[in-house]
Amino acid sequence: MSSLVGFSGVMPTLAAIEAGATIALANKETLVSAGEIITAAAKNKGISILAVDSEHSAILQCLAGEHHSEIEKIILTASGGPFRNLPIEEFGEITLAQALKHPNWSMGNKVTIDSSTLMNKGFEVIEARWLFDLPPEKIDVVVHPQSIVHSLVQFIDGSVKAQLGTPDMRVPIAYALHFPHHIPMNFQRLDLVSVGNLSFFPPDLEKFPCLKLAFEAIKSGGTSTAILNAANEVAVQAFLAEKIRYIDIPAVISSALGKIPNTAHPSLEEIANVDRETREFVRRELKC
């Protein structure tokens, strides 16, 4: 299982692939930064990369027994984070304590901040592109505050399959470790009657520009997604250290994407170089 945080997961994951190990991937930044290289290496070795994220695990479960050519699109759900209903005019006053209070999931600090900015969902879009070999235009995001529907697949006949469950990471972890089997799990079951209503909304890209930046980066391809990841890592670290404001996170990422050259079909060395260059650029920009 690869569950390191950030770019640090790239080399260990690649080493595990070269050793012939099946990968249970909980480190989405590995595919964000080096998806083309990682998936090509896995294909060359004939091994599988199994998603651990709840959304990608849901897609994996929905695709069991289905034909790839019959996928019309996949739909990743997002809780919307703690600021879904906050007016955009108040984003400049968001505190670290507020950003660390996710409404549904208990996660590490970095992932929690990424979830609040919807960058985490942007990373998941990029990860899904490589995990399921789909172009960006076949990947959608919807906001689903209850976090009961973990993701959906729409097929070319218009039918839709969804995977539902309580927001508990033990299920996708166990599914990846025991794939393709579901094993007995002893905890509270989903009660749809108690849940009552399930709601869905489009993401607000004006309030959450990080998601928009992720879609732009995946469409640009090359090292754009590595730049996106590196800039985000440094910006989030600075916010966690209370050295910058919440709204500075997407601003500096956008600046890095606009100023650091993109390289198409990069080598691993080129990805590592652009990762280092981006981190240095962002630290200069933030003066930290």
In the predicted structure, residue 107 carries a pLDDT above the cut 70: no
Peptide bond into 261 cis (omega under 30): no
Residue 142 and residue 114: Cα distance in Å, rounded? 16
pLDDT in tens, 15-48: 999 999 999 999 888 999 999 999 999 999 999 9
104 pLDDT band, cuts 50/70/90, is low
pLDDT for the residue 7: 84
- C-alpha to C-alpha distances, 238 to 84, 147, 171, 275, nearest whole angstrom: 23, 29, 33, 17
Among residues 156, 112, 117, 131, which one has the least CA distance to residue 61? Answer: 131
pLDDT in tens, 189-205: 999 999 999 999 999 99
Instruction: Report pTM.
Output: 0.93
